[in-house]
Amino acid sequence: MRFAAPATVEEAVRLLGAEPGHAKVLAGGSDLIVQMKTGRVEPDLIVDIKRISAMRTITAEAGGFRIGACVPCLAMEENASLKATWPGLVEAARLIGSTQIQGRATLVGNLCNGSPAADGVPALVAANAKVRIVGAKGTREVDVLDVPTGPGKNSLARDEIVESIHLPARSAHSGDCYLRHTPRTEMDIAVVSAGVFVTVDGAGTITHARVSLGAVAPKVLLVEACSKAIVGTKLDAKALGALAAAASAACKPIDDKRGTVEYRTKVAGVLARRAAETAYARAKGAK
Amino acid sequence: MSNIHVTTTVNGDVMEFLCEPDESLMDALRDRLSLTGVKEGCGSGDCGACSVTVDGRLVCSCLVLAAEAEGCKITTVEGLAKGDKLHPLQQKFLEHAALQCGICTPGFLVASKALLDRNPNPTEHEIRYWLAGNLCRCTGYDKIVRAVVDAAAELRRTA
Ligand code: FES
Ligand code: FES
């Protein structure tokens, strides 16, 4: 195995494209190094992208934020403006593993690793984030939803790298929230999770909503029926009931030691409802 | 595999070593630099015994490649005491009997110091969450949390 730490994204892309064997991109390493240790992946080349300075920063862009692929989860919380604007996303990043893991692991890594239970991903989908992918053929922008394709899989070509995530500008009366269910409060993997983003008008009626679910299908779900259930409402009991039912109806979970199909399906509705309540309160100005 | 030459600053001293491309920082610190205060509990990021800071950030050194450390500033438990004088955290761990076998202790000390550097007056709740990635099979955690609370108070008094 060889190790390279290029200083530019162009050089990183060139190295990946030129490698005849198996090449892996290294950002935080908290998934990749474990996979190497267990023998699940045996790369011929590791391309460490942390020397690429543009990929290490959080910057304001087009009224939103651009988060570099190498920004560790803990650094998101340290950015006061990002934390105030996207509290749900920042809370999701602070649920990924331990403090030690959050000092290293990145949101982009969480996305590209392709785990259906990734904590960062439903929050990104609810936020309608886009990723910028750089490859030998140029740069493209895609929806976060289109990056993972199934457990452990993503849609990147072998010479492509996600350079950054862009969170769009959001109107003032908006709020987001991410919740997950785990048997332990820390250091655990989501059995079910839900991300919600809502915008309200002056009267408190929801004008726009995005609801995502994690760990209930081979990849993250964006559930249009959930948005429909709450747009035009003030999130009264009837709307919350319809939201929970739509979330449960969208689930296609597996049965495993951490949760049965029935359990995951039920809890998805509960979490979507609770996350919507918090996102709605935040949209109306709650801290 | 060809070896990689790495230059880092460890506990304030510039150090160089040769490592293999897939060697962890934990192994390099222990086996190449003889900093055996860095402990291996699991080797997979679950126990925190290998905790060090890299450029001021708390990490599991078993989940960092040694080659990634080029040019970085690393602190291990060996960097906590000033000569013969223990760091207040170390002193309070002794006073509160916050260790039994001791294998988790360096990791808890490094992680606790990272917390107190960031937040000099954490609540018990914040301490427990910050240290959730440090596992101890002996103490039951209570004494560790009390030692950190006490060390934080001591550090605030002397700051
Ligand atoms: S040895 Fe690194 S976390 Fe356990
Ligand atoms: S003192 Fe033995 S593991 Fe903590």
Report chain B residues whose CB lies below 8 A from the CB of A99: 58, 111, 114-115, 129-133
Contact of A49 with B59, CB cutoff 8 Å:
no
List, in order, residues 6 or more apart from B138 with CB less than 8 Å away.
B99, B100, B101, B104
The interface predicted TM-score of the complex, written ipTM, equals: 0.95
Assess whether B95 and B143 both reside in one domain: yes
Report chain B residues whose CB lies below 8 A from the CB of A1: 1, 21-22
Residue type, A128: N
B133 contacts A101? CB cut-off 8 A = yes
Q: What is the CATH number of the domain that holds B145?
A: 1.10.150.120
Q: Ligand 1 pocket, B50 CB below 6 A?
A: yes
Mutation probe of ligand 1 site: the residue of B50, B58, B65, B108 with most atoms within 8 A of C-beta: B50
Nearest CA to ligand 2 atom 3: B136
Rounded Cα distance between A214 and A129, Å, is 16
Q: What is the CATH number of the domain that holds B43?
A: 3.10.20.30
pLDDT at position B1 is 58
Ligand nearest the Cα atom of residue B136 = 2
List, in order, residues 6 or more apart from A254 with CB less than 8 Å away.
A261
Contact of A192 with A268, CB cutoff 8 Å:
yes
Confidence of residue A185 (pLDDT cuts 50, 70, 90): confident
Domain residue limits at B40: 4-79
DSSP B86: P
Last residue of a domain, one of B45, B79, B113: B79
Rounded Cα distance between A130 and A136, Å, is 20
Q: How far is the CA of B147 from the centre of ligand 1 (A)?
A: 22
In this predicted model, what pLDDT tens digit does every residue of A200-254 receive, in sequence order?
Answer: 999 999 999 999 999 999 999 999 999 999 999 999 999 999 999 999 999 999 9
Contact of B112 with B131, CB cutoff 8 Å:
yes
pTM across the whole model: 0.95
Strands B73-75 and A64-68: unpaired
Assess whether B73 and B93 both reside in one domain: no
Contact of A230 with A209, CB cutoff 8 Å:
yes
A50 contacts B133? CB cut-off 8 A = no
Nearest-CB residue to B21 (from A2, A37, A187) = A2
Domains of chain A: 2-167 (3.30.465.10), 174-285 (3.30.390.50)
